[in-house]
Amino acid sequence: MTSLADLPIRDDLRGLTPYGAPQKPVRIALNVNENTHPVPEEVVAHVTSAVERAMRSINRYPDREFTLLREHLAAYVGEGTTPEQIWAANGSNEIIQHLLQAFGGPGRSVLGFPPTYSMHAIIAAGTGTRWVAAERDADYRLSPATAAAAVERENPDLVFLCAPNNPTGTALGLDTIAAVYEASRGIVMVDEAYAEFMPEGEPSALSLLEGRPRLVVSRTMSKAFAFAGGRLGYLVADPAIADALRLVRLPYHLSALSQAAAVAALEHAPAMLATVGAIREQRDRLLVELARLGYAPHESWANFVLFGGVDDPRATFEYLLAHDILVRDVGIPHHLRVTAGTEAETTEFLEVLGRMNR
């Protein structure tokens, strides 16, 4: 049987490994930061009806400009956003890929601050863009001075920031984003996949867009909207950014079914987001209870908690898995990450973990 090593794969891809979050049939999956609450039945019915209508013209190509979807996304985002500022794709990963195809590539570089979202570096490799890693401050924070100094030192074509950061949950100040933009000559992307879980009233990087044509804010419907299987990500930026991405996107890259389902979900935004408060409560509960169990949880503005003080992450991971609970080993020594699930899921996770400590 032929192996990957036998194929004439690009030299810069040899030895790399694909994205590898475990997919296991467990009762309680708390490993990939999904919204574990079910979609309300009235929303299921509305989305199903919209998809059924779209099926009646499925023999035709979809709207290449996803006009109606952009209008709904702009209305959801608010803050004066216009449809021309919106670009959408099959998950925020494809958003990242489009940005790297348009502004990165061979001979160009993208700067990031690990530990951060693992797909940033993986997609960079897939587009032939050199990934440059810079260090964070203590406790995974990132100050304006540290971030700007790294940009000035490396002079990258793109900078990727994560707010809140994944996998640490760390907040990112607007002052740091502004400092990075001022120090940069290229595209600055702020990945706000978990923005809806930030504390109430905290400003988004969206507030920095005016007057900054190289700033991009990436969002997703996968997390707060409980739409991970729908694969819908989007960005907000100067309309010229969308013009650049049109040069690299595949024709009709968003299917008619994806567009119809996303529009229908957005029409029920309050219902889809009704669980956000409950998820924040479970996240904050995890911070308290994990510390009570003797672990060292990191403050989180996302829908998950990274916790340290784990003597043997692999053994703990396997122990939880044996009890039908899946968490995430993100490769940080003596740490694991757990998604804030429903109250019942969080309770069982804490009880099982607590029994291991006895």
Average pLDDT, the chain: 96
Look at residue 21 in the predicted model and tell me its pLDDT.
75
Q: What is the 3-state secondary structure (H, E, C) of the chain?
A: CCCHHHCCCCHHHCCCCCCCCCCCCCCEECCCCCCCCCCCHHHHHHHHHHHHHHHCCCCCCCCCCCHHHHHHHHHHHCCCCCHHHEEEECCHHHHHHHHHHHHCCCCCEEEECCCCCHHHHHHHHHCCCEEEECCCCHHHCCCHHHHHHHHHHHCCCEEEEECCCCCCCCCCCHHHHHHHHHHCCCEEEEECCCHHHCCCCCCCHHHHCCCCCCEEEEEECCCCCCCHHHCCEEEEECHHHHHHHHCCCCCCCCCHHHHHHHHHHHCCHHHHCCCHHHHHHHHHHHHHHHHHCCCEECCCCCCEEEEECCCCHHHHHHHHHHCCEECECCCCCCCEEEECCCHHHHHHHHHHHHHHHC
Q: What is the pLDDT of residues 128-166, one digit of tens each?
A: 999 999 999 999 999 999 999 999 999 999 999 999 999
Question: What would the mean pLDDT of 183-208 be, rounded to a whole number?
Answer: 97
Domain extent listing, the chain = 4-30+275-357, 41-271
Look at residue 14 in the predicted model and tell me its pLDDT.
87
Q: How far apart are CA 112 and CA 134, in angstroms?
A: 6
Q: Which residues pair with 235 in a beta bridge?
A: 87, 218
Q: What is the pLDDT of residues 289-343, one digit of tens each?
A: 999 999 999 999 999 999 999 999 999 999 999 999 999 999 999 999 999 999 9
Q: What is the pLDDT of residues 70-122, one digit of tens each?
A: 999 999 999 899 999 999 999 999 999 999 999 999 999 999 999 999 999 99
| Res 65 pLDDT > 60 | yes
Beta-strand relationship, 130-133 and 158-162: unpaired
Please name the fold of domain 4-30+275-357: Aspartate Aminotransferase, domain 1 (3.90.1150)
Q: What is the pLDDT of residues 205-221, one digit of tens each?
A: 999 999 999 999 999 99
The CATH code that applies to domain 41-271 is 3.40.640.10
Nearest Cα to Cα of residue 173 among 218, 321, 319, 181: 181
pLDDT band of 24, cuts 50, 70, 90: confident
Radius of gyration of the chain (CA): 21
| Res 358 pLDDT > 60 | no
Task: Give the rounded percent of residues in the chain with a pLDDT score beyond 70.
Answer: 100
Look at residue 55 in the predicted model and tell me its pLDDT.
98
| Res 3 pLDDT > 90 | no
Q: How far apart are CA 129 and CA 257, in angstroms?
A: 32
Look at residue 43 in the predicted model and tell me its pLDDT.
96
Look at residue 33 in the predicted model and tell me its pLDDT.
96
Look at residue 25 in the predicted model and tell me its pLDDT.
87
pLDDT band of 202, cuts 50, 70, 90: very high
Task: Give the rounded percent of residues in the chain with a pLDDT score beyond 90.
Answer: 93
Higher pLDDT, residue 12 or 37: 37
Nearest Cα to Cα of residue 313 among 294, 334, 296, 327: 334
Provide the angle, in degrees to the nearest 10, between the axes of the packed helices 144-154 and 174-183: 20
